[in-house]
């Protein structure tokens, strides 16, 4: 039956991996204490929003939600590989063309599961980068609380004992606390912007690679379908013998080569920004206005070949 279900277990690094080495395995693939289901998802999200410094709680919830997303993708990847195996098993007892094509389709679908598994590792880099911002927010919270505590103490003393010598001491402490807070807030502001750009660059690069590789697999999958003879037959009629084994094998090889040679520089889908086009259009309009601006002096206009023998006089039109 020419069963060839399986991709090479030991492969050379792809061009994308050589250009950008793959990240370590995602932390979501191990150390599961609360399980894989929705109960564990809900527990992680609610505890993240109720524990820890107040400043970091919203981002902590986001980080936990992204962890839930990654666990779901991991489940999809695992199920996808099982589906691929079952498709190949089901088609094994069919006619030669059905058996061969379903086997090769199983190879492609299994590869999709592998890509999703790789996508998780790259997506985790985005999540880990956001976690670093959460940690900075958590470290800034004590300086805010200290400044607020000193401010409250000063206000309380001024109400109870306006002449207390401790007010001066507290005001000096408040100056130092405000200086420390300014440094921490500036650091948080700078790091937040830097890490947001880095984090979402990780995510969008991973999405571009994953999406374009999926599109490649889909294209080769449709080529496999062309090998199936779907011409209706009458009862008792025999279909022509199937001779597409070499073609189907070559499609798989071509697909593997396309996936292995793909790099981010070769991405097909390119964003088109209409705002940039609009700005360039406005700039061009301004240049045209400057070139056509009349400075108040009469200009001589030459007419190469008048259409009549009468003298042709052309005067400049004042704007």
- In the chain, the domains with their CATH numbers are 44-229+244-264 (1.20.1270.60)
Q: Is the pTM of this model over 0.75?
A: no
By mean pLDDT, which of 62-76, 80-94, 151-165 is the weakest? 151-165
pLDDT band at 53 (very low <50, low <70, confident <90, very high): low
Q: CA-CA distance, 130 to 203, in Å (whole number)?
A: 11
Q: Residue 298 has what pLDDT?
A: 47
58 pLDDT higher than 50: yes
pLDDT band at 10 (very low <50, low <70, confident <90, very high): very low
Higher pLDDT pick, 245 / 3: 245
Instruction: Identify which of 122, 134, 107, 153 has the alpha carbon closest to the alpha carbon of residue 255.
Output: 107
Q: What percent of the chain is predicted at pLDDT more than 90?
A: 41
Q: Residue 138 has what pLDDT?
A: 85
Q: CA-CA distance, 85 to 89, in Å (whole number)?
A: 6
Q: What tokens were used for 8? A: 């090479």
Are the C-beta atoms of 139 and 184 separated by less than 8 Å? yes
Q: Residue 285 has what pLDDT?
A: 60
pLDDT band at 292 (very low <50, low <70, confident <90, very high): low
Are the C-beta atoms of 246 and 4 separated by less than 8 Å? no
Q: What tokens were used for 67? A: 């962890």
First-last CA distance in the chain: 83
Read off the pLDDT of residues 211-263 as tens digits, 9 standing for 90 and up: 999 999 999 999 999 999 988 988 988 888 999 999 999 999 999 999 999 99
């Amino acid at each position: 039956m020419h069963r060839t279900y399986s991709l090479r277990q030991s492969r050379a690094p792809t061009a994308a991996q050589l250009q950008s080495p793959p990240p370590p395995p995602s932390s979501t693939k191990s150390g599961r204490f609360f399980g894989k289901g929705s109960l564990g998802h809900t527990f992680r999200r609610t505890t993240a929003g109720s524990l820890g410094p107040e400043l970091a709680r919203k981002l902590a919830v986001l980080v936990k939600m992204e962890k839930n997303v990654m666990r779901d993708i991991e489940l999809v990847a695992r199920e996808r590989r099982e589906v691929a195996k079952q498709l190949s098993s089901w088609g094994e007892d069919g006619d030669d063309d059905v058996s061969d094509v379903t086997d090769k389709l199983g190879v492609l679908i299994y590869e999709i599961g592998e890509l999703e598994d790789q996508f998780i590792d790259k997506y985790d880099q985005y999540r880990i980068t956001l976690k670093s911002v959460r940690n900075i927010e958590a470290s800034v919270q004590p300086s805010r609380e200290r400044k607020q505590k000193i401010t409250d103490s000063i206000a309380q003393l001024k109400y109870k004992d306006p002449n207390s010598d401790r007010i001066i001491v507290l005001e000096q402490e408040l100056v130092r606390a405000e200086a420390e807070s300014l440094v921490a807030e500036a650091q948080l502001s700078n790091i937040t912007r830097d890490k947001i750009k880095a984090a979402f660059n990780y995510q969008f690069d991973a999405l571009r690679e994953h999406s374009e590789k999926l599109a490649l697999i889909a294209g080769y999958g449709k080529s496999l379908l062309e090998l199936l003879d779907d011409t209706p037959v009458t009862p008792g009629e025999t279909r022509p013998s199937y001779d597409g084994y070499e073609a189907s094998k070559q499609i798989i090889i071509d697909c593997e080569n396309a996936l292995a040679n793909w790099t981010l520089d070769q991405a097909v889908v390119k964003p088109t920004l209409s705002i940039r086009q609009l700005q360039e259009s406005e700039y061009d309009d301004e240049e045209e206005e400057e070139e056509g601006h009349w400075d108040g002096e009469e200009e001589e206009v030459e007419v190469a070949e008048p259409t009549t023998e009468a003298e042709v006089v052309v005067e400049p039109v004042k704007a």
